[in-house]
Structure 1
Amino acid sequence: MVKANIEEDPKPGMPFNMIEGMMPMYPLIAIMGWMIVLIVLVLSAMFISPAIADYLSSAKGVREATFSDANALAHLAEAWLPHFKFLGLGFGLMAIAMALGTIAKRLRRMGKVVTYYMPESVRPAIPPIPKAVRMFQLSTVMGVMILMMTFLLGAYFTIVDVSTYFVGSSQAALNAEAVPTLLGSVSSFKAWLNPLQMIGMAFLMVGITIALIVIIGTLNTQNKILREFKQKS
């Protein structure tokens, strides 16, 4: 009965309504993020470590011929697995931001319930939703989208390099000559994907910081309202 009389906030437009609809799902998003990190750990143990050990276990002359594929595969895995790992970490940070957003919404709801029971003569007006709420939502989504883009681009460039490396020759000696070209290609796109990845992480950190500012601002506003109510009563 009380809920029906409490004024609800207007529903936001796209994409904010979608973001707010996803906020209660933060436990699942956190689990998904840590599962991605676990998958990266398993893949690294299964592919990168054995490939490097296989490559370094032989003499230099043998490395440059027979085991060139192991060297190439190790570097190719390093080109996309870290981006996949950071995507998992990004989902974890996104879950934190969404949990903070859920806390902020519930604090606002609790504030409305408290003011509803105040006498009309001293009942304060409900403050509008802070613009910082939309900022932290956009920052969080932007961060995850950038991390997803870096992972997809890294995987795409890796697939292109793999096909270029293995197509045309099955002889290890010829493949060994192609390794420097392959590693140069991997280094070229890692040089700009890695900073882009850090930008995505920065967006997520900013989103979490703004969400904390919103929560602190909400608590300060409620504290101010209660103090004024105490003075008037």
Structure 2
Amino acid sequence: MAEYNEPEDKAPMPFAVVEKMMPMYPIVAVMGWMIVLISFLIAFTQISSNLEDWFAQTKPVRESDASLVDTWTDIHVLETWVANFKFFGLGLGLMAIAMALGLIALRLRTMAYMVNTHLSPEKKIDIPPKPKIVRLMQGSAMMGIMILMITLILGFVFAFGQVSDYYGSGVQNPTLNGYSGSKLEDYGFIRSFGFWLNTLRMVGMGFLLLAITLALKVILGTLDLQNKELKKL
């Protein structure tokens, strides 16, 4: 049997870490699925039950009962960070797909070198270097998951900071009740970050979807090249 010899093609940092982690895609996929499942259970057992308790009471009771104020606070705190937690889990699932596709592309390249070892010198295939798009794919995947991680951290900070302080005070809408100062500022902050944080999450998901698309392009390009070379034999 001919000796298989693939030239060493060391990826620069941090891409080398990404390539070493690609075989771990099943673990990443399971982690993502578990996070989404935990998010569902929290929403089902905590947020929905708290909403039932809240709306089961009359408006005067809701505004005067301290325990219901705590319930209302818990609802908004959970809503703030659970959404980002869920999207982080979805992001891990998409990253696992990108990792698996990247691994397929590497395996196809390895197979090309293995085929070359069985060919006579005059029929050996000229295997081109890795396309630059590979680094773009890896960078896009890293950027996407980092953005989702940032939104998760920001979600926790905002949930247990401004959101907890504002709703824990029992204020419903300071713009309708003549409030000013810190309460109005907290309310404005809560209203504003909901818009840009949601958009930032979508940017992260977009990077991950781009990574999957680029990985598919690399695989299709590799298969097309191998098909053309094999037809020449």
**1:146-165 to 2 correspondences below 5 Å:** 146-161=147-162, 164-165=165-166
Cα 1:68/1:123, change in 2 over 3 Å: same
Q: How far apart, in 1, do the equivalents of 2:90 and 2:115 lie?
A: 38
Question: Are the equivalent residues in 2 in contact too, given 1:24–1:102 (CA < 8 A)?
Answer: yes
Q: How far apart, in 1, do the equivalents of 2:173 and 2:63 lie?
A: 9
Post-superposition, which runs of at least 4 consecutive aligned residues in structure 1 deviate over 3 A?
A: 178-185
- 1:196 and 2:200 equivalent? yes
TM-score (norm 1): 0.88
Count, aligned residues: 221
Question: Are the equivalent residues in 1 in contact too, given 2:32–2:93 (CA < 8 A)?
Answer: yes
**1:120-199 to 2 correspondences below 5 Å:** 120-161=121-162, 164-165=165-166, 175-177=169-171, 181=183, 184-199=188-203
1:189: how far off?
A: 1.4
Question: Are the equivalent residues in 1 in contact too, given 2:32–2:91 (CA < 8 A)?
Answer: yes
Q: Which blocks of at least 5 consecutive residues in structure 1 are unaligned?
A: 168-174
Question: Are the equivalent residues in 2 in contact too, given 1:103–1:215 (CA < 8 A)?
Answer: yes
Q: How far apart, in 2, do the equivalents of 1:136 and 1:93 lie?
A: 13
1:164: how far off?
A: 2.8
Cα deviations across residues 62-95 of structure 1 (Å, max 9, x unaligned)? 1222122222221121111110000000000000
Cα deviations across residues 123-178 of structure 1 (Å, max 9, x unaligned)? 122111011111111101110000000010110111112563488xxxxxxx3236
Question: Are the equivalent residues in 1 in contact too, given 2:76–2:163 (CA < 8 A)?
Answer: no
Question: Are the equivalent residues in 1 in contact too, given 2:73–2:167 (CA < 8 A)?
Answer: no
1:215: how far off?
A: 0.3
**1:20-99 to 2 correspondences below 5 Å:** 20-66=19-65, 67-99=68-100
TM-score (norm 2): 0.88
Cα deviations across residues 17-49 of structure 1 (Å, max 9, x unaligned)? 000000000000000000101111111123211
AA of the residue aligned to 2:195 = A
Q: How far apart, in 1, do the equivalents of 2:33 and 2:187 lie?
A: 30
Compare 9-18 and 59-68 and name the one that shifted more: 59-68
Question: Are the equivalent residues in 1 in contact too, given 2:95–2:145 (CA < 8 A)?
Answer: yes
1:81 match: secondary structure? helix
Question: Are the equivalent residues in 2 in contact too, given 1:16–1:137 (CA < 8 A)?
Answer: yes
Query: Matched residues, percent identical?
Result: 47
**1:94-133 to 2 correspondences below 5 Å:** 94-133=95-134
Question: Are the equivalent residues in 1 in contact too, given 2:166–2:187 (CA < 8 A)?
Answer: no
Residue of structure 2 equivalent to 1:213: 217
Q: How far apart, in 1, do the equivalents of 2:146 and 2:31 lie?
A: 16
Residue of structure 2 equivalent to 1:171: none
Q: How far apart, in 2, do the equivalents of 1:218 and 1:9 lie?
A: 19
AA of the residue aligned to 2:219 = I
Compare 5-14 and 53-62 and name the one that shifted more: 5-14
